[in-house]
Amino acid sequence: MTSARDVRSAALVINAASRRGAAATDAAVAAMRQAGLPLSSVHAVTSGAELGAALERVIAEQHDLVVVGGGDGTVSFAAGLLAGTEIALGVLPLGTANDLARTLEIPSGLAEACAVVAEGKVVDIDLGRANGKVVDIDLGRANGKPFLNVASVGLSVGVTEALSPRLKKHIGPLAYGVATVQAYARHQPFQARLEFPDGDHQTLELEDLLQVAVGNGRHYGGGNTVSPMAGIDDHTLDIYAILAAPLREHVKIARLLKDGSFIEHDRVYHLETRNVRLVTEPALSVNLDGEIATETPTDFSVQRNAVHVVVPQGSTSATFDGPVK
């Protein structure tokens, strides 16, 4: 399937616990049915267990299209289950950051996003995996915890811990700035070792770090950019490490986060690879698309062309390449 117009059967799964999810279900159903989508299964869930069960059910029902409404963590979880199948993923950005939608040029408004689902084109995008045991990652058979945008350790974990649902609900994306200030004040520097099993880089030992991130997509953290050339269809992981520094230097780096040019700062390391092992001292929690999901040491890999997703007809974020040869 290369176009949403080819859909024969569709399902909708909405995380009603996401920032805008509770009020979105009825409106989304009405908009997609009015647009002519053959929507035959609707699920509004409020917990991770319900989300997993609903997604497993709609996958078993063999719909052509599964539309998922929620934040980046919800959509990444769904992408991990859909990876390697022929089922297309539709995205309704109902969270706080909605960085995947930003990467794929999907509009933030519910009505506009529903129109994309009904009228868009299908592309295939890469999926990051954390601690996955690879069977054949190129041909779509892999496990491990999925991430679409960025996996990270250090400051970002502190930001996630400070991002309370109440804060996100009341001030939206501004919550990231408030949480970052709080996390920065409490941050403790750490050491890290980056190992490259493919031999494309020498092992990198770093001390006194603020953050290490592994990017699969282009945007993260409410609109920051992984690097100027990063993309969700480039089959590589962008790794950056920010060293501890005086506050004035971190302020300079922060001003460059939006366009990704911070990677050129002399307190930042940047590498591209397909596989990397991250070891830290001490062991640290790992943030996957806004969810604290595992801890170091962690192996990261990229699953190429893993997920079929509906994007606007004019989007240049990805193409449809088909299975990796």
Cα–Cα dist 167/183, whole Å: 14
Tokens for 302, please give them.
């990229």
Tokens for 159, please give them.
């930001």
In this predicted structure, the answer to whether residue 210 has a pLDDT above a threshold of 80 is: yes
- Check residues 79 and 173 and name the one with the higher pLDDT: 79
pLDDT of 323: 64
pLDDT of 120: 95
pLDDT of 297: 96
Q: How confident is the model at residue 3 (pLDDT cuts 50, 70, 90)?
A: confident
In this predicted structure, the answer to whether residue 322 has a pLDDT above a threshold of 80 is: no
pLDDT of 133: 57
> In this structure, which CATH number among 2.30.40.10, 2.120.10.80, 2.60.200.40, 3.30.2130.10 belongs to the domain 146-303?
2.60.200.40
Query: Domain 4-125's class?
Result: alpha beta
pLDDT digits (tens, 9 = 90+) for 123-138: 999 999 999 654 444 4
Residue 213 to residues 1, 95, 148, 318, Cα–Cα distance (Å): 34, 21, 13, 22
**31-35, 118-122, 141-145, 248-252 — which is least confidently predicted?**
141-145
pLDDT digits (tens, 9 = 90+) for 157-208: 988 888 767 777 667 777 777 888 888 888 999 999 999 999 999 999 999 9
**What is 142-185 written as a DSSP string?**
E-SEEESSEEEEEHHHHHHHH--HHHHHHHTTHHHHHHHHHHHH
The mean pLDDT of the chain is 90
Residue in the structure block whose two tokens are 């002519």: 36
Residues 258 and 221 sit within 8 Å (Cβ to Cβ): no
pLDDT of 137: 46
Segments making up each domain of the chain, as ranges: 4-125, 146-303
From the CB of residue 220, how many other CB atoms can be counted at a distance below 10 Å?
A: 30
**41-50, 158-167, 311-320 — which is least confidently predicted?**
158-167
Average of per-residue pLDDT across 96-100: 91
282 cis-preceded (ω within 30 degrees of 0): yes
In this predicted structure, the answer to whether residue 79 has a pLDDT above a threshold of 90 is: yes
pLDDT of 49: 86
pLDDT of 135: 47
Residue in the structure block whose two tokens are 């990444």: 76
Residues 183 and 210 sit within 8 Å (Cβ to Cβ): no
Task: Return the percentage of the chain with pLDDT > 90, whole number.
Answer: 74
Nearest one of 252, 295, 268 to 151, comparing CA atoms:
295
pLDDT of 169: 67
Strand partners, 163: none
- Residue 289 DSSP symbol: T
- Check residues 143 and 46 and name the one with the higher pLDDT: 46
In this predicted structure, the answer to whether residue 295 has a pLDDT above a threshold of 80 is: yes
Average of per-residue pLDDT across 277-297: 95
Decide whether 4-125 matches 146-303 in CATH topology: no
pTM, two decimal places: 0.91
- Residue 27 DSSP symbol: H
Q: Which of 2-6, 165-169, 183-187, 271-275 is modeled with the greatest confidence?
A: 271-275
Helix 72-82 and helix 48-60, axial crossing angle in degrees, nearest 10 = 40
- Residue 253 DSSP symbol: H
Average of per-residue pLDDT across 25-47: 90
pLDDT of 17: 81
From the CB of residue 6, how many other CB atoms can be counted at a distance below 10 Å?
A: 11
Contacts of 29 (CB under 8 A, 6+ apart): 12, 39, 42
**55-64, 167-176, 211-220, 254-263 — which is least confidently predicted?**
167-176
End-to-end CA distance of the chain: 19
Residues 303 and 129 sit within 8 Å (Cβ to Cβ): yes
Residue in the structure block whose two tokens are 């279900």: 25
Task: Return the percentage of the chain with pLDDT > 70, whole number.
Answer: 94
| Cβ-based burial of 26 (10 A; exposed 0-12, middle 13-18, buried ≥19) | exposed
Strands 298-311 and 88-93: parallel
pLDDT of 139: 47
In this predicted structure, the answer to whether residue 256 has a pLDDT above a threshold of 70 is: yes
